Structure 1
Amino acid sequence: MIGGFCFSRLAFALFLMQVITGILLAFYYVPHVEDANESVKDITYVVRFGWLVRSLHYWAAQLMVISSALHLLRMAIIGRFRLSCSYSWGLGVLILIAVMAVDFTGYLLRWDESTYWALSVGVNLIKHLPLVGGELYRMAVGGDDIGQPALTRFFVWHCFGIPLLIFALLNSKCWPCTRRRLSLYLRWISGRENDEEVYGMIGQELIYMTLALVILLALSFLLIPPIGGRHEYGTPTEEANAPWMFLWIQEMLFHTSSLVGGVILPALTFGLLLLAPKLYRFNRFLPLAVTALIGALAIGLSAVRLLG
């Protein structure tokens, strides 16, 4: 915690909000290349309170990326790099990667001009992987060209595959705390635990849920998520900015090759984060320095991309 604040609990509250709003959106979204974009517009402008549900879903995803990153920063500041904590740190890094992935797949489901460009660039990076790049590309898009099979695959990954992975990672990371809480609840039900501690825990959970809901409602009323026009096949797609959490990769692509900026450097970045606990053996401040440097470079490159 920083000042008693727990970002992991906030991230879990945001994840629950995404699941609930995602189920509601699935009733109206049409995962077809001809209808996907129009169905998102219908949700936003036609369906009663559809704009609110979509906004809550969108902003919950953005805030979950931020809270996951801040959770890692909190762990770095308090020195959670020792051998006993390295497992929790690794889970935190994997959760951040999974959250970024589910955000990207959700971004693609709008199927407008900007998301089609991002999809084209993103999946083409797969081709640069040695030996298996071509086969992985065809698996990702369902053929040689981007079309209906690609949208179907990303829809399934967004709704089922990646959320299940996030749930498993969150459960693994939070299980020690969850087990203790369940034990306290069971003892409280049987009359073997005092009310004060249990009510305190329930109050904490309600505070995080309420905080998440208040922030999401404020953002949802002030900033409705963007939606562009449907991409027309056969027309050139103009370059657009990637989702904000990938701007640093886009800026590296601008200055280097696709293999270096889109594959090697991002892989090294997350690899260094995963291996940060190993650096603790050499100097206890080295993992924090590496984590801070990676964060500063990502923010700096993203700012250059936005301002440029």
Structure 2
Amino acid sequence: MRPSFYHHLHPPTIPSPQARFRYTLGAGGISVYLTLVLLVTGILEMYYYVPTPEGATHSIQTLTFLVPYGGLVRNLHYWAAQGLMVSVLVHLLRVIWTGGYAPPRRFNYLLGVLLLVVIVLLDFTGYVLRWDEGVRWALVAGTNLLKTVPLLGNDLYILAVGGDQTGPATLVRFYAWHVFGLTLLLVVLAIWHLFRIRRDGGIAVPPPELRRDPRRITRFELARREGTAAIVASGVLILLATFIPAPLAQSIDPSNLATTETQAPWFFLWVQQLLKLGSPFLWGVLLPLGLIVILGLIPYILPLARPAELGTWFPQGNRSAQAMILILLLGILLLSLLAWLG
């Protein structure tokens, strides 16, 4: 049989624990499926979206209310984006809380952390493309954080917004990054990440001589389980897209961008709350970047799970990493809740 990327991802047989839902939660496969949904619906939206301050919100309204099934396409894109953010976070937590980043998987873990950063940036840029009153915080406070970076701040700000202040060039920049730059980076990193999974031996499980479950499943059974997960995810997406429309407010007033009373997008609420503590550079730039660096260094600076413990939740070998991520997660959730209530 001629080799293909599909057969690389689906060997003739794999250890049964690698496809066990209560171990993997299906988060990685669902993330891949949601990425495909985003690519398809995003391409369809590009036929109608107008990347100008005067036309952006109006073109979205046209797509939503006048184009047949346009509202469904937009809602699917919106909910797939939110779902991807959640599924990638769940996938990352699963990898850490099962010790699945132990060698030879450390490099692929780093690719996963980079993917998380790219997905956050994609969600942020797509959020701004609405160009309505709801994006005011992202458009003003979010971009102004770049100015606080020592030495490079003004240059970074001009690079991001296309000038000394936000305007038509800002929307074009965000649009270009969203549909080309970040999307291309996402596709490349995702393919690389998937390739490395099999090259590194698949999802982390104990070596054959230490496995409690010696069974193996065929590629057809693996594909069947993946198909079942995709069908369930499709059903949830369609229900959300049908009954909970994507948000859209009136077009933003370009003459009044000084206020930042609106909330940040949900995935940046914790940053919005941190900014109330003092220095924007310290709390809004340095701390989030530091957390990303620490997240990437976990496999290199903290103890690893023992080989016999792989394939199980909360192995004793990497309890320090588990505790650190739990504290970090609770802190972000608490800050987000405070920002939402405020």
Name the TM-score, length of structure 1 as normaliser: 0.90
Contact 1:118 1:240 in 2 (8 A): no
* CA displacement 1:256-298 (0-9 Å, x = unmatched): 2211121111111111111111232497321111111111111
Q: 2: distance between equivalents of 1:129 and 1:19? A: 33
Contact 1:108 1:119 in 2 (8 A): yes
In the alignment, what sits opposite 1:48?
68
In the alignment, what sits opposite 1:8?
28
* Structure 1 counterpart SS, 2:37: helix
Indicate which of 267, 276, 281 corresponds to 2:289. Answer: 267
Contact 1:44 1:51 in 2 (8 A): yes
2:242 aligned with 1:221: yes
2:124 aligned with 1:112: no
Q: Number of residue pairs matched? A: 294
Q: 2: distance between equivalents of 1:64 and 1:52? A: 18
2:329 aligned with 1:289: no
2:261 aligned with 1:239: yes
In the alignment, what sits opposite 2:88?
68
In the alignment, what sits opposite 1:83?
103
Q: 1:167 to 1:178 in 2, by over 3 A?
A: farther
Q: 1: distance between equivalents of 2:120 and 2:157? A: 19
Deviation at 1:227, TM superposition (A): 0.5
In the alignment, what sits opposite 1:230?
251
Greater fraction helix: 1
In the alignment, what sits opposite 2:299?
277
Q: 1: distance between equivalents of 2:226 and 2:21? A: 17
User: Following superposition of structure 1 onto structure 2, how do residues 94-105 of structure 1 map, counting pairs within 5 Å?
Assistant: 94-105=114-125
* Structure 1 counterpart SS, 2:104: helix
Contact 2:140 2:260 in 1 (8 A): no
In the alignment, what sits opposite 2:206?
none
Aligned sequence identity (%): 35
Q: 2: distance between equivalents of 1:70 and 1:124? A: 30
Q: 1: distance between equivalents of 2:84 and 2:56? A: 25
Contact 1:37 1:110 in 2 (8 A): yes
Deviation at 1:65, TM superposition (A): 0.5
2:235 aligned with 1:201: no
User: Following superposition of structure 1 onto structure 2, how do residues 143-158 of structure 1 map, counting pairs within 5 Å?
Assistant: 143-158=163-178
* CA displacement 1:208-250 (0-9 Å, x = unmatched): 3212211111111121011011112222545111110110001
Q: Of the two structures, which has the highest relative contact order with CA contacts closer than 8 Å and spacing of 6 or more? A: 2
Name the TM-score, length of structure 2 as normaliser: 0.81
Deviation at 1:2, TM superposition (A): 5.5
Q: 2: distance between equivalents of 1:135 and 1:176? A: 36
Contact 1:13 1:208 in 2 (8 A): no
Indicate which of 14, 34, 38 corresponds to 1:18. Answer: 38
2:189 aligned with 1:169: yes
Contact 2:273 2:335 in 1 (8 A): yes
Indicate which of 202, 206, 210 corresponds to 2:231. Answer: 210
Q: 1:261 to 1:177 in 2, by over 3 A?
A: closer
In the alignment, what sits opposite 2:280?
258
Contact 2:141 2:260 in 1 (8 A): no
Q: 1:83 to 1:97 in 2, by over 3 A?
A: same
User: Following superposition of structure 1 onto structure 2, how do residues 115-130 of structure 1 map, counting pairs within 5 Å?
Assistant: 115-130=135-150
Deviation at 1:6, TM superposition (A): 2.2
Q: 2: distance between equivalents of 1:158 and 1:208? A: 27
Give the root-mean-square deviation of aligned CA atoms.
1.9
Q: 1: distance between equivalents of 2:155 and 2:226? A: 45
Q: 1: distance between equivalents of 2:95 and 2:303? A: 17
Q: 1: distance between equivalents of 2:180 and 2:29? A: 22
Q: Which runs of 5+ in 2 are unaligned?
A: 1-19, 203-216, 305-316
Q: 2: distance between equivalents of 1:225 and 1:148? A: 24
Q: Which runs of 5+ in 1 are unaligned?
A: 182-195
